[in-house]
Amino acid sequence: MKYSAQEIARLEEKARAIRRGTLECMGIGVAGHVGGSCSSADIIAALYFHKMKYDPQNPQDPDRDRFLLSKGHVAIAQYAALAEAGIIPREWLKTTKQLGSRLQGHPDRLKTPGVEAGTGSLGQGLSIGLGMALGQKLAGIARKTYVLLGDGEIAEGQVWEAALAAPILGADNLVAIVDNNRLQATDFIKKRFNTLPLAPKFQGFGWHVIEIDGHDMEEILSALDAVDEIKGVPTVIIAHTVKGKGVSFAENVAAYHNGALNAEQYEQAMTELA
């Protein structure tokens, strides 16, 4: 094992904390994107607590790695990570989506420290991330831009415009991560707008492709660290995940793409994630 058992256990606990934090954001009886938040929690934990370089006290430090949540409807997962990292106060989580809150349903860089761009109008994050990565290169900042995409939003044409441009422009500091949980809002992707297989498409555009189990922390860390050795082209990590991972009644259930929990479900979910 390249990583110690203690480090793996620490990051797995961070992922559980992110999942618990998403439930704190949702509360009881309010619809929230628990499915995609839980499927991406392990990846987000690895980024914030292992890989990315940033200053929690100065989240706008130019010498930082950047994280863009292109699938912005799962903002509650990022909010939970920002609270766990000490970038925002944890008590903010329970105010999510309330009038006047600093935490809205989609990320807002003007309201929330640590958010790089307003996203959630799906398909735009990779283009924004490409621009940021090229800006880092022009400024001589040796950091990376990580963009987390949903496998549903891959259907958007702008994703593929950015995917075509990134290798041509030599954006080897751009890392796309696809949360490939196979479900979108109402059903399995294969039944709605089948974009699979993803790996040959990105390879055809000139990307370096890595496929992993998106819930195996060692595989996630190995993939993120392997990116450092790739020069000249961007990398995409296709993370095979389970929608609603960690909450038994929500796993692989499209209804929890954006669903509310009753009091009993909330307590069960928190117990399972303890």
Global confidence as pTM: 0.96
* Cβ–Cβ under 8 Å, residues 81 and 103: no
Q: What is the pLDDT of residues 196-241, one digit of tens each?
A: 999 999 999 999 999 999 999 999 999 999 999 999 999 999 999 9
Cβ neighbours of residue 68 under 8 Å, at least 6 residues apart? 116, 117, 119, 125, 128, 129, 132, 145, 146, 147, 148
- Please report the pLDDT score of residue 186 as a whole number: 86
Instruction: Please tell me the distance from the alpha carbon of residue 132 to that of residue 139, in angstroms, as a whole number.
Output: 10
pLDDT band at 187; cut points 50, 70, 90: confident
* Cβ–Cβ under 8 Å, residues 174 and 234: yes
Instruction: Please tell me the distance from the alpha carbon of residue 166 to that of residue 149, in angstroms, as a whole number.
Output: 15
Q: What is the pLDDT of residues 43-65, one digit of tens each?
A: 999 999 999 999 999 999 999 99
- Please report the pLDDT score of residue 184 as a whole number: 86
Q: What is the pLDDT of residues 246-273, one digit of tens each?
A: 999 999 999 999 999 999 999 999 999 9
- Residue 146: name the closest of 256, 247, 70 by CA: 70
* Helix (H) or strand (E) segment spanning residue 177: strand 174-180
- Please report the pLDDT score of residue 120 as a whole number: 85
Domain 5-272 has CATH 3.40.50.970: yes
